[in-house]
Structure 1
Amino acid sequence: MDFTECYRDTVSSVAAAARAGCKERVRRLIRRGFSVDSRDNRGWNALHEAAAAGSKDCVREILSAAGKKGSTTTQDSSRGCRAYVDTLTHEGETACYLAAQRGHLAVVRLLLKAHANINQPTNDLSCPLYAAVDGGHKEVVDLLISRGAEVNGTHTASCWTCLHQAVYKGHTEIVRKLITVCHLEALDDHKITPLFLAAEYGQLECLEILVNAGANVNAQADDLATPLLIASQEGHEGCVHVLLDHGADPNLACSSDWPQLPIHAAAEFGHCRILERLIAVTDRVCDRGVGMVSPLYVAVREQSNSVELLLREGYSPDAQDCTDILGIRSPLSFALLVISYEPYSESARLLIAAGASLSEMEWIHVLATERTDLLQLILKHRWIPRPESLSSTPSRGDWTEGRTALKLQELRELVCVALGQVRFAACWLPLLLKAGLEPSLLLQPKMMEEADSEVLNYLLGFVNWSILSLPLKHILDRRQAEKTWASWPNFEPVPSLSHLCRLQVREVLGSDVLMRTDAVQQLPVPSQLHSYLQFRDIQEPTYTHSPSPPMSERIDGYRRTHRHSHVV
């Protein structure tokens, strides 16, 4: 090997001429004794340059000179040429590889005639055929296959075959050729097939070719993902239709962690047209089934369009309890947990409007804050019936004015959480009482002990304070003595007759009817009394507490300190 001509950033004279494709100059230099074997800092010699440039004539001249160098017989010439033609660059590339990579058909043909190693791997495990496939050079691919190139070898660190690469690049004509000679179910290092790649990268025509050739549409990768799952995740609608039309199973579990289905992927990424197709073919057991996960869970984080579609198609806003699988009780619980800077998300609004059940955790989000946006939203879609009319099962009367009534358990949870969040009562108490919550439900020792003076006065304004139980009266007396509560001037030992009258009206009509409907307008009393009968004269308390800690801290604090008790 001659390095005398080469320096760090230069090539030999012959190599420079070959790069330019100057056959005559190459010939003259060789005749003058210039070496064809000199290599630059990349390990390239004149043959590499000629092959990369696609100069068949230069390649022929260089091969001829290499064969004559040091040879005395035809056999020596042939051996010398064979050794030279497979010279490797520092990257392990042969002249044949460089020519195939660039699609120089005539040069590849000439090099193969000179007995170039057709399967010589590079340092990164590529080969001439893989390089030709990658570049989309179909004629070179055809030539190499016809000359016996290995078609099922694995290349690159991911162990892709030529078919994987052709599909990935979307070279459909090459794919048509390769499916006649390659393993259709070849696996890479993650057990991904070429068909899976076509679905993942949206190579629809390649997918159709593979499907029609008999490739398995349900082949699962190492993590159990299927082509249908990945196409649904990436939003490749055409691929989803092809896969389903050719037998892809939409109910095949695609994860070992939880029963993930393609419908979950479409819902999570908001691909609604795909989601519509999958809703029609996915088993509805995923909606409420034990051990399953409703697609609503994965949709609520950001994809309100998916949430809206699923609810419209009849998926339950409550779904199933996924505490054991995901650590989440309900879609609404998740929707409230993932929002940290707003009181609620669009997904939460949709779930509440659809009648999602409200448990202890949801009520904490509603009441353990100085903001009332979420409570107002709930009261827009749910109404508070009188306790004596509640039962564990809803009746036809539980729906009115476009709203549904709170169930007995929901009301119990509401009152229990409210009594645990007295510090925020100035915010939520007026809204609840105006919505029809029976005030006597909140006349509990905890409220009487901890409520601010204004809050306590506001609550007492809705009841007959003269008939409070003795334990509650003792609390008020003690707080008054300690000067932690100052009663309103109109809190006389005996309430006024007008106040007693409106309490009687409230009892007859029911607080829910009186406060949330226009029933008071129908009463045979002067219109000036309407506001009074609805307790609008009572001054609302003002929230004066310091900023609240994060919701997660409030939830943890509630869990540590609150003892659940039924007061309804």
Structure 2
Amino acid sequence: MDFTECYGDTVSSVAAAARSGCWRRVRRLMKRGFSVDCRDNRGWNALHEAAAAGSLQCAQEILSAVGGKKGCNSYVNSLTHEGESACYLAAERGHLAVVRILLKAHANVNQPTNDLSCPLYAAVDGGHEEVVQLLVSKCAEVNGTHTASCWTCLHQAVYKGHSEIVRILVNVCNLEALDDHRISPLFVAAQYGQQECLEILVNAGANVNTQAADLATPLLIASQEGHQACVDFLLDHGADPNIACSHDWPQLPIHAAAEFGHIGVLRRLVAVTDRACDRGDGMVSPLYMAVLRHQSKSVELLLREGYSPDAQDCTHVLDLRSPLSFALSHTSNKPYSESVRLLVAAGASLSEEDWVHALATDKTDLLQLILEHRWISQPETLTRNCSAPHHQGKTTLKPQELRELIYVALNQVRFAACWLPLLLKAGLEPSLLLQPEMLNQADSEVLNYLLEFVNWSTLSPPLSTILDRRRTEKTWQPCPHFDSIICLSHICRLQIRLLLGPDLLMRTSVVQQLPVPSPLHPFLQFKDIPEPSYKRSPS
């Protein structure tokens, strides 16, 4: 665009000709006395136009015309309103020949712009290798900072991935120059996945374990961003995967890889990271970070590699008790997340808080999941402290887990129609639930269902008293046969269950091995009893 049309009173014809590269016209206009220093609305003069356009001949004509005049040096270094010199404009656009003649005319090689840039920084940013080589040879300041973030030319060359320029600069620059966050050029290479630049810096002697102001290392940031090649190179060249990378808690690169689901990186870090992070006091298992971001593949890999599904109690570090509790508390729309499934399948311990998630709801998905992977132990194990055995690949509930299950169940009687059939079919001893809380609060269907699994005629006097009261108050409508003499067939199946154990009877094929007709099998497993239906309480 010819600014003489819009700004005829400020833009010289010489500048317009220089912008077009018409050196003969520039010469004619100057001979006729037209000014070379008239500026446009941007503060640009004819030399700025020639430099930006890369017009060597126009620049030569202008410099020749002013070369013998007073103030020539001032003219060569005159600045636009943005603080840009002709040398800066030429370097920014990669016009090597123009930069060379401007330097011969004593252009200031280090003249800063308003935004703290300079000719060398502009050439680096643009990837103009030959211009960079020239400016460096002319003693341009290579370690100055040129942005609000205090980046050097080396930071910018690495960020842009100009590897050949990095090769030039590593011979003259401070490899450990830090920006305002104490980030080095090597850190930048790791952060943005500039592998070739990273290799050049490491081979030149840059510190692979440098730490930023927040203690992050190049290995941590490369792991976070998922730059597999950079992670591999750093580890192969001395990067320490066990340096704590946070002021708040001992974060390691493995945490970053797990959190952002970079499986290849995570697999590499698992092999070299100290396992103290798994269960060590004051540490944080990477499982927590995987659960935080719902990275089920990270959870699966860590569990497969032997990381404990229980990890360590991080209440005092991150206010997290266990990975499973964390996963359950962060489950959004689904009844349970894939992370929950993986943790339960891996044998994660169940706390009272976890049982609340499973029982204090009319949805049974989580409870069904737990029962797929847990074997309900016999009542006598409640008094034992020994390790629970395994049955058919399932982990037996520990005594503490069973006690907490019963405690939560008795406090969530309003949902008993949902969880009671599942628990009894899974082999829970029904007598554990024959407690005043249950008999006082359960609705008729639920109470009748529970009583069908016991000898209702032998209840203790206190429990019988509760049932009598509820019958009188008409808050319980018992099954008609509860008033009759108990059937011999029912007594027999109670005895068989006692001998076999409710867990084996209800969850295995042992009943099929008994010397009884096959039509009796459903009866012996209590399948003839209709399940109660859940009734929502009024708001």
Query: Would you say same fold, with TM above 0.5?
Result: yes
Structure 2 counterpart SS, 1:491:
helix
Q: Which residue of 1 aligns with 2:398?
A: 407
- Report the secondary structure of 2:24's partner residue: helix
Q: Distance in 1 between matches of 2:346 and 2:28?
A: 86
The answer to whether the Cα contact below 8 Å between 2:4 and 2:11 also exists between their aligned partners in 1 is no
Give 1:393's aligned residue. Answer: 386
C-alpha distance in 2 between matches for 1:21 and 1:307? 64
Residue identity opposite 1:384 in structure 2? I
Aligned-pair CA distance for 1:450: 1.2
Task: Find the partner of 1:319 among 295, 311, 321.
Answer: 311
Query: What residue in structure 2 maps to residue 554 of structure 1?
Result: none
Cα distance 1:343–1:4, how it changes in 2: closer, same or farther (>3 A)?
Answer: closer
Alignment of 1:106-255 (within 5 A): 106-255=97-246
Distance apart, 1:96 and its partner CA? 0.4
Give the letter for the 2:98 counterpart: V
> Which residue type is aligned with residue 380 of structure 2?
E
The answer to whether the Cα contact below 8 Å between 1:129 and 1:144 also exists between their aligned partners in 2 is yes
The yes-or-no answer on 1:509 pairing with 2:514 is no
Is this contact kept in 1: 2:10–2:38, CA < 8 A?
Answer: no
Provide the rounded CA distance (Å) in 2 between the counterparts of 1:36 and 1:98.
17
Give secondary structure in 2 for the equivalent of 1:158.
coil
Q: Which amino acid aligns with 2:157?
A: A
1:6·1:39 contact (CA, 8 Å) conserved in 2?
no
- How much identity, in percent, do the aligned residues show? 76
Q: Quick one: structure 1 residues 440 and 532, their matched pair in 2 at CA, closer, same or farther if it must change by over 3 Å?
A: same
DSSP 3-state at the match of 2:395: strand
After superposition, the Cα gap between the structure-2 partners of 1:57 and 1:225, relative to the gap in structure 1 and judged at 3 Å, is same
SS in 2 for 1:404: strand
Is 1:266 the counterpart of 2:249 in the alignment? no
Show the 5 A alignment for 1:155-554.
Answer: 155-300=146-291, 301-389=293-381, 391-395=384-388, 398-492=389-483, 494-545=485-536
Secondary structure of 1:507 counterpart: helix
Distance 2:410 2:141 in 1: 76
Q: Distance in 2 between matches of 1:4 and 1:167?
A: 41
In structure 1, how many angstroms separate the alpha carbons of the residues matched to 2:528 and 2:228?
60
**3-state DSSP of counterpart to 2:481:** coil
Q: Which runs of 5+ in 2 are unaligned?
A: none
AA of the residue aligned to 1:48? H
**Structure 1 residues not aligned, in runs of 5+:** 68-73, 549-568
- Shift, 1:5, TM fit: 8.9
Deviations 1:399-441 (A, max 9, x none): 1212111110110111111111111111110000000001011
Deviation at 1:81, TM superposition (A): 1.3
1:45 corresponding residue in structure 2: 45
Cα gap change, 1:193 to 1:489, in 2 (>3 Å)? same
| CA distances 1:6-60 after superposition (whole Å, capped 9, x unpaired) | 7299843211111110101111122222221121221111111110000111112
Counterpart contact for 2:381–2:399, Cα < 8 Å = no
| Displacement after TM superposition at 1:389 (Å) | 3.9
Distance 1:478 1:49 in 2: 102
Deviates more, 1:425-434 or 1:386-395: 386-395
Alignment correspondent of 2:21: 21
Deviation at 1:538, TM superposition (A): 1.1
CA contact (8 A) 1:466 1:493 kept: no
**Equivalent of residue 103 in structure 1, options 84, 89, 94:** 94
Q: Are the equivalent residues in 1 in contact too, given 2:4–2:16 (CA < 8 A)? A: no
Conserved? CA contact 2:38–2:46, under 8 Å: yes
Shift of 1:195: 0.3
Note the C-alpha offset of 1:493: 5.3
Q: Give the distance between the partners of 2:392 and 2:268, measured in 1 at CA.
A: 34
1:64 deviates by 2.9
Amino acid in the other structure paired with 2:56: K
* Mapped contact 2:376–2:428 kept (Cα < 8 A): yes
Which AA in structure 1 matches 2:346? Answer: A
Give the Cα separation in 2 of the matches to 1:392 and 1:93: 79
> TM-score if structure 2 supplies the norm length?
0.96
What is the aligned-residue RMSD (CA, Å)? 1.7
Report the residue type matching 1:40 in the other structure: D
The answer on whether the counterparts of 2:115 and 2:147 sit within 8 Å (CA) in structure 1 is yes
AA aligned to 1:306 is: S
Task: Answer yes or no: is the 8 Å Cα contact 1:152–1:182 preserved in 2.
Answer: yes
**Displacement of 1:287 after TM fit?**
0.5
Deviation at 1:4, TM superposition (A): 10
Query: Higher mean Cα deviation, 255-264 or 467-476?
Result: 467-476
1:306-326 Cα deviation digits (max 9, x unpaired)? 111111111111111111111
C-alpha contact (below 8 Å) 2:14/2:30 kept by paired residues:
yes
**Offset at residue 481 of structure 1 (A):** 1.8
CA separation of 1:36 and 1:546: change in aligned 2, threshold 3 A: farther
**Alpha carbons of 1:518 and 1:8: their partners in 2 closer, same or farther (altered >3 Å)?**
farther
Q: Distance in 2 between matches of 1:15 and 1:498?
A: 111
Amino acid at match of 1:283: D
1:490 aligns to what SS in structure 2?
Answer: helix
Distance change >3 Å, CA 394–CA 175, structure 1 → 2: same
Aligned-partner residue type, residue 258 of structure 2: A
Q: Is the 8 A contact 1:154 1:160 kept in 2?
A: yes
1:229-274, CA deviations, whole angstroms, 9 ceiling, x for partnerless residues? 0001111111111111111110000001111000111111111111
CA distance in structure 2 between the aligned counterparts of 1:486 and 1:407, rounded to whole angstroms: 36
Q: Determine the C-alpha separation between the residues in 2 that align with 1:243 and 1:175.
A: 18
Helix, strand or coil: the match of 2:71?
helix
Give me the whole-angstrom Cα distance separating, in 1, the residues matched to 2:91 and 2:537: 73
Contact map agreement 2:327 2:337 (CA 8 A) in 1: yes
- 1:103 Cα deviation after fit: 0.5
Q: How far apart, CA to CA, are the structure 2 residues paired with 1:294 and 1:539?
A: 46
Distance in structure 1 (CA, Å) of the matches to 2:537 and 2:229: 55
CA shift in 2, pair 1:453/1:28, >3 Å: same
Letter in 1 for 2:425: K
Q: What's the offset of the Cα at 1:451?
A: 1.1
- Indicate conservation of the 8 Å contact 1:6/1:38, yes or no: no
> How far off its partner does 1:547 sit?
9.3
Aligned length: 535
Instruction: Sort the Cα spacing of 1:18 and 1:521 in 2 relative to 1 into closer, same or farther, 3 A.
Output: same
Q: Deviations over 1:305-349 (max 9, x none)?
A: 111111111111111111111111111111111112111111111
Q: Which amino acid aligns with 1:368?
A: A
- Determine the C-alpha separation between the residues in 1 that align with 2:500 and 2:372: 21
